[in-house]
Amino acid sequence: MKALAVIPTYNERDNLPDLVRAVLANPSFAVMVVDDGSPDGTGAIADGLSSEFPGRVDVVHRTGKRGLGRSYVEGLQRALAQHDADLICQMDADWSHDPKYLPAMVNACTAHDVVIGSRYLNGVSVVNWPLRRLILSTFANRYIRAVTGLRANDCTSGFRCWRRAALAALPLDRVVSDGYAFLTEMLFEAHERGARIGEVPIIFVERRMGSSKLSSGVLLESVLTPWRLRLRYLFGRP
Ligand SMILES: Nc1nc2c(ncn2[C@@H]2O[C@H](COP(=O)(O)OP(=O)(O)O)[C@@H](O)[C@H]2O)c(=O)[nH]1
Ligand SMILES: [Mg+2]
């Protein structure tokens, strides 16, 4: 089965080259980098990788307002429109989502429509996070499960592998949130459509190079989105 890894980037110059090489070490994989005009030149580095691996690295240079959710929408829509991969994965560029887990996720897609690389499947497998961030993330997941009815242990993981048809069934252009809330919203849309959601355990290691783009606006949105999703579920889409 052919697979495509969609990787959003913002200032990931030091992480991207080795990461792309590690993903492409799997012969069935191609990569799409969705760069948001990174000031550190990540976009040009991605172009270089595209020349180094002809036909295996697609690069999207976004302009205008930057955002992780917007980048995913654009990248995933393009993956469906312009690539013929059977499986479409999403992963971060900072090595927190180690490509070594991709084969297990791809395998699990034989029995599931979307497979999550999960930090909270067997207890907690997160390395190098400050305690407050760990508490925030585990609390967020309990909260999301309670409010939305999703059952996955890690609803906010950005490490996912989709069967093409399950991804194509989602109304990507109507997903309005950004950041982590975007990930919850996508999973909720899939759940509403009867997608079989699976999880594979990963050990998530906090980035060593570059910096996190987590912001308080993104956090507030994550608190409100589960309620919006639940209300929409109860009362139908406006
Ligand atoms: N295209 C794009 N990528 C982003 C943006 N913000 C973050 N990213 C990428 O999304 C991934 C996760 O971001 P990160 O800052 O590590 O978030 P954290 O892991 O939650 O701390 C990384 O690959 C980032 O480069 C953005 O606004 N646009
Ligand atoms: Mg990160």
Each residue of 153-196: pLDDT tens digit? 999 999 999 999 999 999 998 887 887 789 999 999 999 999 99
Kindly state the tokens that stand for 191: 């759940």
Give per-residue pLDDT as tens, 1-16.
999 999 999 999 999 9
Find out whether the beta carbon of 196 lies less than 6 Å from any atom of ligand 1.
no
Residue nearest to atom 5 of ligand 1 (CA): 68
Joined tokens for residue 206 = 């906090």
Tens digit of each residue's pLDDT (9 = 90 or more) over 15-65: 999 999 999 999 999 999 999 999 999 999 999 999 999 999 999 999 988
Report the C-alpha gap between 163 and 114 in whole angstroms: 6
CB 57 within 8 A of CB 7: no
For the Cβ of 212 lying below 6 angstroms from any atom of ligand 1, the answer is yes
Nearest-angstrom CA–CA distance, 92 and 41: 17
With a cut of 70, say whether residue 215 has pLDDT above it: no
pTM confidence score: 0.95
Which has the closest alpha carbon to 121: 222, 191, 104, 19? 104
Whole-angstrom distance between the N-terminal and C-terminal Cα of the chain? 38
Task: List Cα–Cα distances, 182 to 69, 83, 131, 151, in angstroms.
Answer: 6, 23, 24, 17
How far, in Å, is the centroid of ligand 1 from the Cα of 236? Answer: 32
C-alpha 92 – ligand 2 centre gap (Å): 7
- Give yes or no for residue 36 CB within 6 A of ligand 1: yes
Residue 77 CA, ligand 2 centroid: distance in Å: 23
What pLDDT was estimated at residue 152?
97
Supply the residue whose CA is at minimum distance from atom 20 of ligand 1. Answer: 214
Question: What single-letter amino acid sits at 216?
Answer: S
Q: What is the DSSP string of 139-193?
A: HHHHHHHHHH----S-TT---EEEEHHHHHTS-GGG----HHHHHHHHHHHHHHT
H or E element that contains 90? strand 87-90
CA of 235 to the centre of ligand 2 (A): 35
